Structure 1
Amino acid sequence: MAAACLTEWQTWRQQLLHNGERRLLVLAGSQTWAMAQARRLGNVCHSRQLWLGQAEPGQAALPVNKFQTALGQEYDSLVFNAFSGLHPDAFGAAAGTLVAGGVMLLLCPPLTDWPEYADPDLVRYVAQPEQAEGLDSPFLRRFVRQLQQDESVLVWQQGAPFPPLPPLSSTPWQPARDRQGCLNSQQRNALAHMLRCARTRTPLVLTADRGRGKSSLLGLAAHRLLQSGLKVLLTAPNHHAPAQALHHCASPLRFVAPDALLAEQPAADMLLIDEAAAIPVPMLLTLARRYCCIFASTEHGYEGTGLGFQLKFQPRLNTLSPGWRKVHIKTPARWSPRDPLEPLVFRLLALNAAPVAPPRSRSDDSTPAGADPLRFCWVTREMLQNDEPLLQQLFGLLTLAHYQTRPSDLRQLLDAPDLRLAVTLQGNIPVAVALVIREGPLPAALSQGVWRGQRRPRGHLLPQSLAFHGGLARACQFTYQRVMRIVVHPHCQQQGTGSRLLHWLQQHLPQQTGCDFIGTSFGASPSLLAFWQQNGFWAVRLGQSRDGVSGLHAVMMLWPCSAAAKHTLPLWQGQFSANLQAYRQGRWPEELNAIYQALDLLPPGVTEQQDSHIARDFAFYHRDLSCDQPALSRFVATHAPLQPLSDRQQQLLAALLTPGALPAQTAREHGLSGHKAAITQARQLLQSFFMVPSET
């Protein structure tokens, strides 16, 4: 690269800053060449640089999967080494840290070869790493096509001259802060709302996409509130996130981590929560009960939490504080509204994907009697790759269905080899969609490792969890088609559309895949349980703790397809019923009563052989105490130890095996050092009931 090109590059970057815009430069070639060019281009500007992925020796870099630690920071230059894996969440989030005048350098193989490249990120979408070998990536093929269609993208191919730098507009973008520290009218309006809500003790939710100055506004508001004599605290999911808030607060502002807030409960007139969507919903609700809060949240959650905040937290806040307020900021603060990089990132990751609304049904519908306007079909990855409008509609529908949707879900949709997509169409409009993934069976040695808590391979949620957590020894031997998500467009809900799609799956999946079970796992609520039970599914596992984001208890349900499955499912249901009965006689969370009442259950049924199997492998391996407590308590009640236990040991064992008892709490009550010590004691005491196994 000639010195003249570097000089031209530096001048062009200065003009880019003058305009308040950002750009993407693709360095396509070998990794060695791309890293060398990225270093030379970065050295010219002597800027704040973030490098994600592998770098040259001596170059400071952050692993791609650690991208969250960069959130809340600002950079003039960003290097994303896609040779280390094109992690969609990391790509989207990192782009939001790039300030005006910044350039994102994307290091990748030659564009024509990239879709066949052995991308390390592909292993996240397969159960075993070897399954990723030789996979073609429709996601990368679409990604490359989007890059090539965008005129703002600069591409430098190895062996070709440095690309000509396009002329830039002479229109300046020089935002100036007013006396309050705000950069535009939307920020001024938001700050006024924040101060007003603080005075009236009214919770406020501040939302925006990245780069709108949410964190800066928190700092400005904190300064004003502290100056007025109020006690203000700041929290965030990690200590990196609030950097901008602390920077923009001219008064000393105390940061307290969320878990410390819950444990210590320091006094405060106002609690400011940065990146609130990345904090679990139950934790947010607890904080909202204890403090008057301002919640700042990213609208499009690149980490998969934005929708959770919108769909799960805000409705609960309605009940907790009906008068809460919401302010949204649209105008960018870190870059000009003319910036082409943000809309490019949104297109690359389908962040604006939305379903097409079908016509609303009418009571005077003139459809002839017996006519069926709905049709069902499979949509393949090839169809999605070649039909961008269809991809946008279906991904938009899937986004409506789940509160943890993230850009990585788009890659899974296009690249995961064991994924199937069933669609309900009204005319040509998708009105319902089901995402189904194949799981199990697992090899015998791996199944035993899962059962004993020694192995935890990627994927295979149902067989692994039913075996390890549910105590169902044969679970890993069966084949499952798990319905990961099923969603019906709001215009078509409460009309039986979801049940009809599920019935279509029940007809076609066993014929086409030879599966033993169709299954599902979701956050339990009485209404959702009713839907699945009405369609013939039976619960076989209920989580005893809440999900960190949804605040709900996970339930797993199955519909049997094969003769073996139909024989086995009642046995599993009997064991599940027996375990629930044991939990209800022990320490039972009150919030589970409504779920229990909604469950269709068979009579309890267990075998002494199964309980002994669980007890033995808990004692000598790594099975989970909380999940095994019902079986362990039944076993101890009917068996005598080979080595007598003292009264103290018997009391400790009884306490540890009480269904629902928490090991850490039991440890405190019995003078043990903590959770791990309690588990160790439980294993050692159970070992006294068995001969030491000869196998390893």
Structure 2
Amino acid sequence: MEKKEFIEKLRESLDDGKKRYYRNLVYIEKEDYMQDLLDVLWLYKEVNQSPKVAYAFNPWAFRSKERLETVKGVFPDLEDVDYSSSEKYLGKTYDVVILDLVDNFQPNYVGRLVDLVRGGGLAVLYTNNLERDKFFKNSIIREGKVEDYYEERFKRKLMEHKGTFIANETGYFANPFYGKLGEKPHGVVPKKIVMPVELHNMALSEDQNRVLEGFQYLLRGGKRVLAITASRGRGKSAVTGLGLAGVIYVNMKEGFKTYVAVTAPSISSSSQIMEFLKLGLDALKIEHKVKKSDIGAIRSIEGDGFKVYYEPPDATLNDEGHILVVDEAASLGINYIDVATKVWKKVVLVTTVHGYEGSGRSFLKYLRNLLEKRKQNVKWLTMEKPLRYAEGDPIESWLYDALMLNAEPKKPTEDLTKMYYETLSKEALISSDDVLSQVYGILVSAHYRNNPDDLMIMLDGVHHHVKAIYSDSYLAVAQVSEEGNLPDPMIELALKGGTFDGDLIPDRMLKHLRVREFGKLKGWRIVRIAVIPELQNKGIGSKLLEMVVKEAEDKGVDWVGSAFMGDPYVLNFWTRNGFVPVHVSPKRNEKFGDYPVAVIKPISEMAKKITAIAQEVLKERLLNTVFDVYYDMSPTLARILLDSIRAHRDIELNKIYLAKLTAFLQGTSPYESSADAIHMLTLKYFWDAKRDWRLDEEEEIVLIGKVLQGKPWRYLSSTLGINRTRITELIYSSVSTLSKRYYNLDVESHVGVSINEM
């Protein structure tokens, strides 16, 4: 196609998109990209004379600002967006979003930013080439090698979908969209309402009206959870802000105060909620004061009898109020939600079903299981129709396909008598959408922290391999990364605190264990392992793990390991399969709030020797610093870690400690007076790897939480769901058992100690 025809077809599609409220996309990949880019942008300006424009780029990259200034010649008032801070733009809307891919092509950014374009708008992606000299791609290179499978599929999807216009070295290609669309969204005020009509009139869709009215669920009753789920662009954060304004209004009328904490991965992530809360209060003519953060995001809104404020996730677990609102709940993880819904009386969970920070679908599965198990009162609200563009928008369809946001595993057949283990080739994965959707869908369905970048790493990394168990369809998948076998300079770099891409477990072991030889060992890190939902907890994941370890052993690999966020359920899976913890990060992951954990199953003799040392070092670090460095670790996770490390050390209590234990058992010395003796007894128990008996799980958790970590009684009571009396009883029963087992002490034992016994 000639350029003139290309421009004319694009003009027709832009006009049609404006009329029917759908989006178009232009992709330019050629060395001489600038003239085509400018022609496209000037064309859009003819269709829309005053568009709102965002331009995303890496501002510190060579000549990137020159390109920005050139584009400003068309749109002087554009908003420039640094890719690294693009998360704070979620919730905003633009007519044109331009992505400079000259220096970097990263799927997360593509998904996040293309979705900001409104109906009638245009997304523009331009680059000299998609595969070479890109920051993110360079991080995947291993020994000078990297594949291009992801980019190959990405460009193929651009060609396959409608609403896309492509200019490359071979010519111009137009794929206009002529399909059917849903009507433009509009609000519909319900006949019977509790929330103020002024707020209902601000809703842009019937979904928003319905969810707004759903906030009345929080007005009365005991512990309740309101869960709001939607794909991006449905207006869930906006209606949450309006809903809070409604709750404040109703409570004020009835003489109740309202205190709300809003949390999210960052203060910018919560900005939409706070902005629409302010708009709602303005519409209701409720006086309020606004305080902003250094970056201009609203930190708090306060008025007579109410306060709504942003608080980091960790801080909310030690706070008190009426309502906790969690935006992007899937990003914070199920462990955080577990504690938050215990501590807070009313909780609003807002999460994305098809997001770019993780799979909301799998998160919802875990969330439903959690709340059902606890018999929690919960109201589920789902928002279906998009607000930014018409239902059936072609660019949403392309985005979901290109980034595999809608990947789904197949349901298994009933006949599973024959199952096979295989390593899938990358060619097989990208040549069949069905196979890729099954394989990646299994990973996404089980891991809510997947994101589009992960697929690119899996396909393009020469050191990444996909192992699977299949029958008539794929049942279980493991993504494996080759690690270790490091040259001396890289080992030195790690020991001196330097960082490098990949080789996650060797890097952590070198930095924290300091044993040089580990860097020379060859390992396989299991990045992810998952089983289709219908067959989970049936041993198939363990069987796949067994096959991977056997293959590694046959190929002379020294160790197989994994690294993950410290989740008790996940850690239990690994320890049940013979893997042992060798490292726990001394810092919590800021985004997810968990402590990263590394586990290993050693194969070679050298790996076994180093692993034994690593276990003892880790156990000592945990027991010595769990009250400080690991204070925020859940006692449940700490219990699994300590129980699975079989390093042994003899700990003896002196006579004074034994006398204190006796006094505690007899009730003449309170816990606080005997705490030092109980602490030493607890250390003796957890260092004892030779015993063939154990305390009850609940007793171990209380000993860790209170005796070793020193957590407040109130915190333990709320997180464990038991009262202080029960906690005291568990400590007493534990001390009684341990005192009898180790020293034959009980309530009848002699009180006090003679100087001659010292």
TM-score bin, normalised by smaller chain: 0.7 to 0.9
Alignment of 1:522 onto 2:564: yes
Question: Does the CA contact (< 8 Å) of 1:573 and 1:602 recur in 2?
Answer: yes
Q: 1:156 aligns with which of 167, 170, 176?
A: 167
After TM superposition, give the deviation of residue 278 of structure 1 in Å.
Answer: 3.8
Q: 2:462 aligns with which of 417, 423, 426?
A: 417
After TM superposition, give the deviation of residue 71 of structure 1 in Å.
Answer: 0.6
After TM superposition, give the deviation of residue 243 of structure 1 in Å.
Answer: 4.9
* 2:233 alignment partner in structure 1: 211
What letter corresponds to residue 434 of structure 1 in structure 2?
A
Q: 1:358 aligns with which of 412, 417, 432?
A: 412
* 1:618 alignment partner in structure 2: none
Alignment of 1:184 onto 2:211: no
Looking at structure 2, the residues matched to 188 and 2 of structure 1 have their Cα atoms a distance apart, in angstroms, of 46
After TM superposition, give the deviation of residue 306 of structure 1 in Å.
Answer: 3.4
Count residues with an aligned counterpart.
589
After TM superposition, give the deviation of residue 239 of structure 1 in Å.
Answer: 4.4
Question: Does the CA contact (< 8 Å) of 1:282 and 1:550 recur in 2?
Answer: no
Instruction: Flag the 1:63–1:124 CA change in 2: closer, same or farther, 3 A.
Output: farther
Deviations 1:315-337 (A, max 9, x none): 55556770021111111222211
Instruction: Flag the 1:473–1:168 CA change in 2: closer, same or farther, 3 A.
Output: closer
Question: Does the CA contact (< 8 Å) of 1:519 and 1:556 recur in 2?
Answer: yes
Alignment of 1:481 onto 2:524: yes
Deviations 1:139-181 (A, max 9, x none): 1111111111113322234695795966687996363565613
Q: 1:327 aligns with which of 378, 381, 389?
A: 381
After TM superposition, give the deviation of residue 354 of structure 1 in Å.
Answer: 0.9
What letter corresponds to residue 205 of structure 1 in structure 2?
A
Looking at structure 2, the residues matched to 439 and 313 of structure 1 have their Cα atoms a distance apart, in angstroms, of 34
* 2:53 alignment partner in structure 1: 49
Instruction: Flag the 1:266–1:570 CA change in 2: closer, same or farther, 3 A.
Output: closer
Alignment of 1:61 onto 2:80: yes
* 2:144 alignment partner in structure 1: 131
Query: Which SS does the other structure have where 1:125 is aligned?
Result: coil
Structure 2 counterparts to residues 520-669 of structure 1, below 5 A: 520-524=562-566, 528-529=570-571, 531-543=573-585, 546-548=588-590, 552-580=594-622, 582-583=624-625, 589=631, 590-596=635-641, 598-603=643-648
* 1:32 alignment partner in structure 2: 34
Normalised by the size of structure 2, how large is the TM-score?
A: 0.69
Report the more deviating stretch, 395-404 or 522-531.
Answer: 522-531
Alignment of 1:297 onto 2:299: no
After TM superposition, give the deviation of residue 260 of structure 1 in Å.
Answer: 9.2
What letter corresponds to residue 40 of structure 1 in structure 2?
W
Q: 1:405 aligns with which of 440, 450, 454?
A: 450
After TM superposition, give the deviation of residue 310 of structure 1 in Å.
Answer: 3.0
Deviations 1:9-30 (A, max 9, x none): 6775354232121121223323
Question: Does the CA contact (< 8 Å) of 2:182 and 2:391 recur in 1?
Answer: no
* 1:500 alignment partner in structure 2: 543
Looking at structure 2, the residues matched to 360 and 575 of structure 1 have their Cα atoms a distance apart, in angstroms, of 47
After TM superposition, give the deviation of residue 274 of structure 1 in Å.
Answer: 3.5
After TM superposition, give the deviation of residue 213 of structure 1 in Å.
Answer: 1.5
Looking at structure 2, the residues matched to 219 and 536 of structure 1 have their Cα atoms a distance apart, in angstroms, of 48
After TM superposition, give the deviation of residue 70 of structure 1 in Å.
Answer: 1.4
Looking at structure 2, the residues matched to 555 and 444 of structure 1 have their Cα atoms a distance apart, in angstroms, of 26
After TM superposition, give the deviation of residue 592 of structure 1 in Å.
Answer: 4.7
Normalised by the size of structure 1, how large is the TM-score?
A: 0.75
Q: 1:143 aligns with which of 154, 160, 164?
A: 154
Looking at structure 2, the residues matched to 95 and 188 of structure 1 have their Cα atoms a distance apart, in angstroms, of 26
Question: Does the CA contact (< 8 Å) of 2:27 and 2:166 recur in 1?
Answer: yes
What letter corresponds to residue 225 of structure 1 in structure 2?
V
After TM superposition, give the deviation of residue 302 of structure 1 in Å.
Answer: 0.4
Alignment of 1:224 onto 2:266: no
Alignment of 1:374 onto 2:401: no
After TM superposition, give the deviation of residue 275 of structure 1 in Å.
Answer: 3.2
What letter corresponds to residue 204 of structure 2 in structure 1?
L
Looking at structure 2, the residues matched to 307 and 100 of structure 1 have their Cα atoms a distance apart, in angstroms, of 26
Instruction: Flag the 1:282–1:431 CA change in 2: closer, same or farther, 3 A.
Output: closer
Deviations 1:608-652 (A, max 9, x none): xxxxxxxxxxxxxxxxxxxxxxxxxxxxxxxxxxxxxxxxxxxxx
Query: Which SS does the other structure have where 1:328 is aligned?
Result: strand
What letter corresponds to residue 555 of structure 1 in structure 2?
V
Deviations 1:184-208 (A, max 9, x none): 3333222221223334463211110
Instruction: Flag the 1:267–1:13 CA change in 2: closer, same or farther, 3 A.
Output: farther
* 2:506 alignment partner in structure 1: 463
Alignment of 1:389 onto 2:408: no
Question: Does the CA contact (< 8 Å) of 2:627 and 2:709 recur in 1?
Answer: no
* 2:23 alignment partner in structure 1: 22
Query: Which SS does the other structure have where 1:92 is aligned?
Result: helix
Identity of aligned residues (%): 21
After TM superposition, give the deviation of residue 594 of structure 1 in Å.
Answer: 2.3
Question: Does the CA contact (< 8 Å) of 1:350 and 1:407 recur in 2?
Answer: yes
Looking at structure 2, the residues matched to 525 and 280 of structure 1 have their Cα atoms a distance apart, in angstroms, of 9
What letter corresponds to residue 424 of structure 2 in structure 1?
V
Looking at structure 1, the residues matched to 329 and 574 of structure 2 have their Cα atoms a distance apart, in angstroms, of 32
Question: Does the CA contact (< 8 Å) of 1:576 and 1:604 recur in 2?
Answer: no
Instruction: Flag the 1:286–1:600 CA change in 2: closer, same or farther, 3 A.
Output: closer
Instruction: Flag the 1:449–1:19 CA change in 2: closer, same or farther, 3 A.
Output: same
Report the more deviating stretch, 206-215 or 572-581.
Answer: 572-581
Deviations 1:74-102 (A, max 9, x none): 11111122223221111112122111111
Instruction: Flag the 1:105–1:35 CA change in 2: closer, same or farther, 3 A.
Output: same
Question: Does the CA contact (< 8 Å) of 2:586 and 2:595 recur in 1?
Answer: yes
Question: Does the CA contact (< 8 Å) of 1:280 and 1:549 recur in 2?
Answer: no
* 2:474 alignment partner in structure 1: 430
Looking at structure 2, the residues matched to 287 and 519 of structure 1 have their Cα atoms a distance apart, in angstroms, of 31
* 1:441 alignment partner in structure 2: 485
Query: Which SS does the other structure have where 1:83 is aligned?
Result: coil
Unaligned runs of 5+ residues in structure 2 are 58-63, 73-78, 190-196, 283-287, 291-300, 302-307, 651-707, 712-758
Deviations 1:475-503 (A, max 9, x none): 22222111111112233334332232222
Query: Which SS does the other structure have where 2:102 is aligned?
Result: helix
After TM superposition, give the deviation of residue 264 of structure 1 in Å.
Answer: 12
Report the more deviating stretch, 276-285 or 592-601.
Answer: 276-285
Question: Does the CA contact (< 8 Å) of 2:513 and 2:614 recur in 1?
Answer: no
Looking at structure 2, the residues matched to 330 and 599 of structure 1 have their Cα atoms a distance apart, in angstroms, of 45
Q: 1:119 aligns with which of 134, 142, 148?
A: 134
What letter corresponds to residue 303 of structure 1 in structure 2?
E
After TM superposition, give the deviation of residue 530 of structure 1 in Å.
Answer: 5.1
Query: Which SS does the other structure have where 2:280 is aligned?
Result: coil
Looking at structure 2, the residues matched to 433 and 584 of structure 1 have their Cα atoms a distance apart, in angstroms, of 35
Query: Which SS does the other structure have where 1:336 is aligned?
Result: coil
Instruction: Flag the 1:161–1:490 CA change in 2: closer, same or farther, 3 A.
Output: closer
Looking at structure 1, the residues matched to 581 and 263 of structure 2 have their Cα atoms a distance apart, in angstroms, of 39
* 1:101 alignment partner in structure 2: 120
Looking at structure 1, the residues matched to 574 and 179 of structure 2 have their Cα atoms a distance apart, in angstroms, of 57
Unaligned runs of 5+ residues in structure 1 are 368-372, 606-658, 663-696
Looking at structure 1, the residues matched to 177 and 542 of structure 2 have their Cα atoms a distance apart, in angstroms, of 54
After TM superposition, give the deviation of residue 387 of structure 1 in Å.
Answer: 1.7
